[in-house]
Amino acid sequence: MKERRGIEGRARAVEGRRVRFVASTRAVDRHGTIVEPGGIRTERFDRNPVFLWGHDGYGGFSAPNPENVIGRVTGHAVENDQFIIEAEFTPEGVNERADMLYRLVMDGFLNAVSIGFYPLRQREDVIEGRAVTVFEEVELLDVSLVPIPSNPEALAVMRAVARAAGEVELRGTVPRDISKETAPEGESWRKPTLADFTDQSWDELSVAAKNRIARHYAWAPQLPPERFADQRLPHHRPSDGAVVWRGVRAAMAALLGARGGVDIPDEDRRRVYNHLAAHYRQFDKEPPEFKAYSEQELRDMLEAVDKGEAEAAAPDTADIAAVLRGLKRRINELLED
Ligand SMILES: [Zn+2]
């Protein structure tokens, strides 16, 4: 069985003929189904990431028409429960159909993409009194531009990300909190390892288990994260998800450590900041201003007034070291300018 799900969007002028589709596919679609954005497997698709017109990559009674290969998918990510793709249309003059479709997209006449997939795991659910099939895990087969998508409720925005070098970097994701409970303020903190969460290896974990772990962190490149080490800025207690004040503070210091305090795309920093600032308020603390801080200011933030507390905060030395390394890099850059 091959399934198709669509998303809607709007386009905006873009450089390099790349178009980004941000989809909200968690809504129940016309088929009465839901595709879990975090459960879309892309390993196989990534080896042949075609961008098609109308799913015509297989041919019906004849060979598929090559004109319907209108580009390639240059990136994808899961962000806030949305599956996002970025597609690059073929260079101008190579494929007339692609040129026409690209113009239709840019002028706002075509707005929708649709994904083709094989279901891998699913469950039946009842949502608002309606029987719904939830595809928990699917394998992505193709991404197509289509006139009408099957997911009418999903509101998506197509966005172009133009980079000077033509390089496109998809933004990562700020996972939802695993828990809103707070640990006692004096709770000590150390950066968790995988063993703090599970006895299994990362690859053995289910998508749901990986996503559960990711929600202890303030940033991940995608959900589920490909590797445990991809996640950034942990601040929830592995045992029960409670927010740990010292973890929040260390994460904030790393985030505000200019460029290189922590390697998170610049576009994501504000959202990570908002996440951490909300935790500051949970502990009745005023969050620091959203800006890059000097080494001394960061030290003040990390080290408490009282030496005893400073030592308790020290276990997160990896983050502190990263902050200092980032500052050194930044200073060197400034000297070179
Ligand atoms: Zn959090």
Q: Residue 62 has what pLDDT? A: 58
Domain residue ranges of the chain, discontinuous segments joined by +:
3-159, 194-336
> According to DSSP H, which parts of 117-214 are helical?
207-214
Q: What is the pLDDT of residue 56?
A: 67
Q: How many angstroms separate the alpha carbon of residue 328 from the centre of ligand 1?
A: 28
CA of 206 relative to ligand 1 center, distance in Å: 22
Q: Name which residue leads in pLDDT, 242 or 6.
A: 242
Ligand 1: centre distance to CA 275 (Å): 6
Residue 156 reports pLDDT greater than 60: no
Comparing 36-40, 81-85, 323-327, which segment has the lowest mean pLDDT? 323-327
CA–centroid distance, 33 to ligand 1, in Å, is 30
Per residue in 117-141, pLDDT (tens digit) is 788 888 888 877 778 888 888 888 8
Taking the centre of ligand 1 as the mean of its atom positions, its distance from the CA of residue 217, in whole angstroms, is 6
Q: Which residue type occupies 26? A: R
Q: Range with the lowest mean pLDDT among 81-95, 191-205, 258-272, 302-316?
A: 302-316
Predicted confidence at residue 188, as pLDDT, reads 93
Residue 189 has pLDDT above 70, yes or no: yes
| Type and span of the H or E element at 249 | helix 245-255
pTM of the model: 0.46
Cα 61 to ligand 1 centre (Å) = 53
> How far, in Å, is the centroid of ligand 1 from the Cα of 242?
9
- The length of the chain in residues reads 337
Question: How far is the centre of ligand 1, averaged over its atoms, from the C-alpha of 266 (Å)?
Answer: 19
Q: How far is CA 166 from CA 17, 145, 188, 237, in A?
A: 10, 22, 44, 40
Residue with tokens 């502190």: 320
Question: Closest Cα to residue 108, out of 153, 166, 157, 56?
Answer: 157
Q: Which residues pair with 138 in a beta bridge?
A: 40, 119
For residue 272, name the pLDDT band (cuts at 50, 70, 90): very high
Encoded amino acid at 130, one letter? R
Residue 281's pLDDT is 94
Q: What is the mean pLDDT of the chain?
A: 76
**Ligand 1 mean position, distance from CA 244 (Å):** 9
Return all residues near 317 (Cβ < 8 A) that are at least 6 apart. none
Residue 215 predicted with pLDDT over 90: yes
The pLDDT score that the predictor gives to residue 277 is 95
- The alpha carbon of 210 and the centre of ligand 1 are apart by a number of angstroms equal to 16
Q: Among 28-37, 64-73, 77-86, 164-173, which is the least confidently predicted range?
A: 164-173
